[in-house]
Amino acid sequence: TDEAELRETVQGVEGVIAVPTIRAREQGHYVAVAAAISVNPRITVLEGQEIAKRVKDQVFKRFTHVTDVQVQVDPYDPGYPYKSNHDPNQEHMPTLLQ
């Protein structure tokens, strides 16, 4: 499994601001994925879990040979040097539950 493709898939999920780490480990014919995602620090824990679930669903859908996906959800730190879809001028970021 190509980690760049995996990263692109995870980064494309709504609510994911950055993907600081992603790893794919082959286990025989199967692949286990571990990813850390950064999300808006102002959202609720429940919303963070929903985003993680969408990440898992998307990875399973796109990569049929992946059998396990672990997603760690962290608050996004604007100081983190990562190109992202985060707009620092957007004072209020909408949450999923609105």
CA dist 63 and 55 (Å) reads: 12
pTM, to two decimals? 0.77
Percent helix, strand and coil across the chain, each to the nearest 5: 30, 30, 40
Domain boundaries, the chain: 3-74
CA–chain centroid gap for 37, Å, is 4
Q: Kindly report the CATH number that applies to the domain delimited by 3-74.
A: 3.30.70.1350
**pLDDT above 70: residue 73:** yes
Torsions phi, psi for 22 (to 5 deg): -150, 135
Residue 95 has pLDDT above 50, yes or no: no
Q: Is the pLDDT of residue 97 over 60?
A: no
Give the separation between CA 5 and CA 50, rounded to whole angstroms: 22
